[in-house]
Amino acid sequence: MGKWKKSVIPLNRLSDAKLNLARAEAWRRVVPLRDKSEAYAAGSSQREANAREYDLLTRELAAIEATIHELLSDRRPRMGALGKFLGLTRVPPGALSQIEVLKNRRSELEARQKNLHGGPPDPARAFATAMERLLRFDREIDRRKRKSEALESLRAAAAFAAADTRKVASSIKRKLERQPLCPYCGYKLNELLHAEHIYPVAKGGRSTRANMVNVCESCNARKGKMTLTAFIKKYELNREAIEARLTALGKEF
């Protein structure tokens, strides 16, 4: 049982190859159970014989119980006339020894019945349980595969969108303002302009004139995929001055 759990629980940490192995291993464990349960079904006469014996024992035990009750209720007066006067009664010694024999027989039968009742586990039931687990395991694997496929297509769509954004970027780039200062560091811009996405493409930023601005080479390299806030924070830049320069250029951030 413990071993089984081990192979079922860490599904999300398994690669596809390992998942397939785990699935094969799970099936390998269930197959002998199925064989056993089929053999068991074929030889069901033993089970029927057990059920019949259980039934007979139940009836005999009931008869013993009734006899003991009967013997106990057959009370006789004791201690002669005085006993009779006082209302003293007793179960005759013969009956007591008979009851003793019956009680021994009762515990013997009860033990036999218990043995029949709690006999070996039913392989058919074990198989059904294992099968149910296996199917759950399979469903979990399928669910996981569907999830990873969905994730892949999402990633592909995102990559496509990003590529599209970059393509558009080159056409926007030519239309961008050639302002004299770098809006980020405030130094003079030289001939080498770098069109920068204020909100990064990597995070879903779009190639629009409002989101793109010409910056110096150093700022472009340092900002990379960072957001404006992260960039300002990391290099301890003057947020107010940057925002004023961007606003003057009609940028959104």
Binding site for Zn ion (CB under 5 A): 182, 184-185, 216, 219
Q: How far is the CB of 184 from Zn ion (least distance, A)?
A: 4
Q: How far apart are CA 33 and CA 128, in angstroms?
A: 9
Taking the least distance from each CB to Zn ion, the nearer of 130 and 182 is 182
Whole-angstrom distance, CA of residue 6 vs CA of residue 129: 17
Cβ of residue 222: shortest distance to Zn ion, in angstroms? 8
Which pair of tokens denotes residue 126?
Answer: 């074990």
CB 109 within 8 A of CB 60: yes
**Least separation in angstroms between CB 171 and Zn ion:** 24
| Cα–Cα–Cα angle for 134, 138, 139, rounded to 5 degrees | 120
Cα distances from 219 to residues 105, 127, 184, 196, 231, in angstroms, run 98, 67, 7, 9, 9
Helices (H) and strands (E) in the chain, counts: 9, 4
Nearer to Zn ion, 219 or 228 (CB): 219
Q: Which is nearer to Zn ion, 198 or 219 (CB)?
A: 219
3-state secondary structure of 198: coil
The answer to whether 185 and 231 have CB atoms below 8 angstroms apart is: no
At its nearest, how many Å lie between Zn ion and the CB of residue 204?
24
Which is nearer to Zn ion, 46 or 229 (by Cβ)? 229
- The tokens describing 130, both together, are 């294992």
In the complex with Zn ion, the residue whose CB is nearer, 134 or 245, is 245
CB of 216 to Zn ion, least distance (A): 3
